[in-house]
A = this chain, B = another copy of it.
C-alpha cells in the first residue's frame, strides 16, 4: 500500500481557466479511483466525484488506476461558424490530459479535461490496445456531486422524449414531483423517480448558475442524470439497448464530452460556446449551399386540427404501392392540397419569406401512427390532390423554396432503405431542406429513441443528407450536442416541447425563458414561434387549447431563441389581421454577426440583442416568464451613431390568458447611450428592430 499511497500523492492535478476563475482538480483517490472536482471563484461547484465505467464482462474501469502521465496545454483560437449567434467563436481553454493505466488489467484509459472561462468539458478516451479492444459498457459511473439542495429546472429522464414542461424545484423535491411531471407523450419511457435530462439547469443558494450537459454525442448513448437525492449527487445514466447493454465500444474511441457551465451571472450560461467548441471543426468542404432561412408552413392548421395530414377515411389501412388513392373518397379535410399550398406560397412570397414547409403531402398518413407499421411512408408519392410538379414550378416562380417533410413514424429501417431515393427525389424537385420526424415508438418495438443504435442513425441521416447538399431539421431525434458545428447542414432540431404543445393543452408561460438555458445549450431549436391567435377553438371548435403567451412574447422568440431556421407558424389569415405586428417577423433576421445577453434568469426572463450578419441591423428580444416585470436594457451594444428603433411591446392590459393580443408598436430614435425600460406582461415580452437613422 506504500506504493499506492505514493502514487496517489503524485496524482493530484489541477488546471485553471484562462480567466483564473474556474479550477478543475483531478486525483486518484483511495484504491486508485479517479475523481474530479470543480471550483469557481473559490466556491465548490462539483465536489469530488467518481468517474469510470462498469463493463459487461464483469470488470470495471473505476479503480486500481495509476497515473502514467499528466500533461497540460493551452489553446486560443477563433473559428467561423457557417451560421449562428456570432460570426466568430473564440475557443480559449486550458487542457489537462490524464493518462491512466489500470494496474490490475494493464488497460489504458485517458481523461481529457478542458477548462474554459465559464465551463469545464471532459471526456474519456481509450487508446487502441489489445487489453481493451472491444468492450461493452453497462454503466457509466461519472458523477456530478452538487454542494447542496440546489434549485433545478428539470424535465423527467426519458429514453424516448424530451417533450416535457419544465419543473422548477429543489433537488430534494424532484422525487415527489416526478409522477406529476411525466405528462403524456406518443412515445415515452421513464426510468427512475429521480432521473432527469440534460441540459440540466441549476442554481445554488450562494448564487451560482450551473448547467450540466454533454457535447459531441457520437456513437454513444444519450446521457441522463440520476440523482441521489440524499447526497445531491448525479450519476450518468445512459440510454440502454433492449438487452440492457449501454454502449458497444472499440478502441481507439472516446465518449462524448461531459460539460459543466458555471457562473454567478446567468447570462454567461447563455453566452457560453463550450458545446460548440468541444465539437470537431466542420467536416463539410463546401458549405455554400447551407442557407439559414425564414419559413412558413402548411402545418399549424393540422396541429390545431383545422385540417388533417391524411386524405381519406375510406380505407381500413394503407398498403404502399398497392392502395389506389384514386379509388378512395377524400374526406375533404386534407391540408396539403394544391390550392391551399399555393395560397401559402402567395402569402410567403408576398411577405418576403424564403421557404415553405408542407406536411401531409405524401401518402400514408391514414394509418401512420401506433401500428408498428414497417413500410409506413415511401417519401416520394404525393397525394392525388397535391400536384407536386405544379407546386414545385409555382414556388420556383414565386421565389419560394419548398421544404420537404419526412415523417418516419420511427420506422427507421424503412427510412434508411428509402433514404437515397427520398433525397434524390428532393433534389430533383428543388427541395434543399428536410424536416424529418420520429414520432411514436421505434419500430420494431422494444428499442428506444436515444440509445447508441439510434443516436447513430440520426447522424447517419445528417451525413447522408450532406452528400446530397440537403439541410436537416430533425424532430423527435436525440437532443443536440453541438454537432451542428461539424455538420452545419444540421440546421435544426426539435428535441424539446415545441410550440405545437400550445395546441395540445398549452405550455407553461415561462417555457421559452428556460429553453435557452437547457435545450438550446446543445444547438438551435425549430421551436416554430409566431403564434398570434391564442384561442385554438377559432381554428378547431373541438380544440380548447390556449397559447400561453402574449403576441409580443411570440415576437421576442425570433431573437431570444436563435436558430438559422425560423418559422412563422401561424396561419396567413391570422397574420393578415395583425400586419403591423407581423412586420417584425418580416424584418427579423436569422443569422448573426454578434449577440449580447442583456438580462437572464432561468424560466423568468431572457433578453438578447443581436446584430444581423453582414448588415447594419440590430434586433432585441425580451422574453418574459409568468411574472410581469420591467426590463431595463442599455443599447450600448450599438456602435456610435443614430438609429431608429421600432418597439413591439405588451400593451398595458396584456396578459397571456386575459389579453394576449394587446400590444403597442412605437418608433423611437435611439443611440448607444439609450436606456430602455419596458414593461412586460405575464407570459409577455417585447421585440425591437433597430436600423441606422
Query: Which positions in A face B, CB cutoff 8 Å?
Result: 128-130, 133-134, 136, 241-243, 245, 248, 250-252, 315-317, 319, 367, 371-374, 413, 416-417, 420, 444-446, 453, 456, 460
Contacts and interface: CB of A to CB of B under 8 A. Distances in A.
Given A243-B446, A446-B243, A453-B444, A130 B316 contact: yes
Contact of A417 (B241, B250, B373, B416): B416
Contacts of A129: 316
Number of copies: 2
A227 B133 CA distance: 44
B248 A315 contact: no
A444 B248 contact: yes
Nearest to A451: B444
A456 B248 CA distance: 25
Contacts of A245: 444-445
Nearest to A443: B248
A245 B129 CA distance: 40
B241 A317 contact: no
Contact of A250 (B136, B317, B446): B317
B446 A241 contact: yes
Given A242-B242, A416-B413, A417-B416, A134 B250 contact: no
Contact of A367 (B133, B243, B416): B133
A363 B251 CA distance: 18
A155 to B, nearest CB: 26
Contacts of A315: 128
Contacts of A243: 242, 444-446
Contacts of A136: 372
A371 B420 CA distance: 29
B128 A317 contact: yes
A416 B413 CA distance: 9
A250 B443 CA distance: 14
Contacts of A134: 317, 367, 371-373
A635 B27 CA distance: 87
A459 to B, nearest CB: 12
A250 B316 CA distance: 10
Nearest to A136: B372
A248 B128 contact: no
Q: Which among A373, A420, A445, A460 has the highest number of chain B CB atoms within 10 Å?
A: A445
Contacts of A252: 319
